[in-house]
Amino acid sequence: MKDKGERNTSPVAIIGLLLTSVTSGYLIGVQNIVFFSDQWKQEFGDPTGVDLNLLATAVGLGSLGGLALEILATSKGQWRNFLVGSVFVLIGALKQGLSRDWWGFFKTRLACGFGNAIACNGALQLLDEATDGSQKELLTILYGGLWSLGMVLGNAVTHESADTWSWRIPSCYQAMIPALQLLTYFFMPKRWFLGVRERDPASLHPKDIPPEHIKHEANVLKSGLWHLVLAVFLPVICIHLGNGIVLVTIGEVLEFTYGITTIPQQIFINGILFLNSLVATLHKHFYNPSQIKLTLLSITTTSILIIGTIYILYPASIAVALLSLLAAGHIVLMAIPTTILTNRLPASVSPHITNVLSISTNLCLLYNGFINPWSMPRALWTKYSNSALIFFLHLVLIALFVLLHLPSRTLRSFPAINIRPTTKS
């Protein structure tokens, strides 16, 4: 008979929480389909400059607002935030498909970002509460990897039509994943013992945990500054310099060097790289989950350093260099650094560091909305991407230094620990 004290969360509920990451990637990816649609340009007056950048950053602006509200509403329970956020994205996606002017489109993108931030932050904390140490690391890796899957899906969904539905149908497809999230909501337990400011009768029952590990948990709080530094800088590495530079530039290389302009061809290449990175990361997780991540991150960083040097010194080899850079950098973007950080967080500071991580991520997305190849001259963008690559290398080295100085394990990393309700005899 299963012990009543052990976590017994439905797999369907876990899948629903993971789907929020797919939604995040899809919201970003689908705008490429919309913005490059000739019908959309005709209907909205072919916006350029600030007007186009504001539309590109609307999801990020909404996310910041949603994140602020989510932090204030933490006392209401994260499962409620997951529900409300999913509803906002669902409604915003449907209204985007029906929008007819710039302001209408902008407001629907704001609504999608607003709801998605609430749902994602709630989902992350619910995943943290619902899983033990043996599962948490794997689910964190999957959560980060599913963002890339959503990005690929967003760029893949097209509607073969010469009329207005060529962009309206992909916009409405944004509502499909939140609809699935709402279905999984009914499988979620309505009482969580952590992350809710209520006096739930919960107690910690360690099994065969040596005293030195408990002492270590008390001392780990001293590394709070290191956690804060990583929470600020990891999104700069993975979101801005990673997705904003590497993943954007590779599209231009495929188009101008190899003549690969069709969406299915680019999706196929990006999909193969995504699957390769996902399989490699999961294999390393099962092979040696305790130390292989830092090793993999170090090897990847070295590869990027070598490739980056070739890229700067020999511009003629830009195509091969950037293709290799994407293959190596994609592994870094598979949530490995974030996984290391979140798995070493003490339970007392985990929600706060997660909020800082989310705020930094959204600020990077906002910045990328204004600093991108379609709003800058090609020569200026090339110089900027070169400088950003060097900055990327420095930040990765700093992040590695900080990670190596963090405590290796906390009490939450032991699968033997269960959070169980106490019962009165």
Q: Are residues 160 and 241 in the same domain?
A: no
Which residues, 6+ apart, have CB-to-CB distance to 46 below 8 Å? none
What are the structure tokens assigned to 121, written together? 């932050």
Q: Is residue 128 part of a domain?
A: yes
Q: Are residues 28 and 78 in the same domain?
A: yes
What are the structure tokens assigned to 406, written together? 């963090």
Closest CA to 170 of 39, 288, 293: 39
Tokens 């949530």 belong to which residue?
Answer: 335
Q: Are residues 69 and 164 in the same domain?
A: yes
Query: What is the model's pLDDT at position 125?
Result: 78
Q: Is residue 334 part of a domain?
A: yes
C-alpha distance from residue 376 to each of 175, 236, 248, 279, 367 (Å): 32, 20, 13, 36, 13
The residue range of the domain holding 155 is 9-192
Q: Are residues 243 and 145 in the same domain?
A: no
Q: Is residue 424 part of a domain?
A: no
For residue 155, give the H/E element and its range. Answer: helix 133-156
Q: Is residue 116 part of a domain?
A: yes
Does residue 91 have a pLDDT over 80?
yes
Query: What is the model's pLDDT at position 249?
Result: 57
Amino acid at 62: G
| Number of folded domains that form the chain | 2
Q: Is residue 412 part of a domain?
A: no
* d(C-alpha 75, C-alpha 66), whole Å: 15
Q: Are residues 70 and 218 in the same domain?
A: no
Q: Is residue 307 part of a domain?
A: yes
* d(C-alpha 328, C-alpha 342), whole Å: 23
CATH number at residue 391: 1.20.1250.20
Q: Grade residue 312 by pLDDT with cuts at 50, 70 and 90.
A: low
Q: Are residues 340 and 389 in the same domain?
A: yes
Query: What is the model's pLDDT at position 89?
Result: 94
Helix 224-235 and helix 336-343, axial crossing angle in degrees, nearest 10: 160
Q: Are residues 25 and 155 in the same domain?
A: yes
Q: How far apart are the first and last CA of the chain?
A: 20
pLDDT tens-digit readout, 382-397:
777 667 766 766 676 6
pLDDT tens-digit readout, 109-136:
999 999 998 888 888 878 877 776 567 7
Q: Are residues 181 and 256 in the same domain?
A: no
Q: Are residues 162 and 256 in the same domain?
A: no
pLDDT tens-digit readout, 229-240:
777 777 777 666
Helix 263-287 and helix 292-313, axial crossing angle in degrees, nearest 10: 140
Q: Are residues 388 and 249 in the same domain?
A: yes
- CA-CA-CA-CA dihedral for 337, 339, 343, 348, to nearest 10: 90
Q: Is residue 218 part of a domain?
A: yes
Q: Is residue 414 part of a domain?
A: no
Amino acid at 66: G
Segment 339-354 mean pLDDT: 67
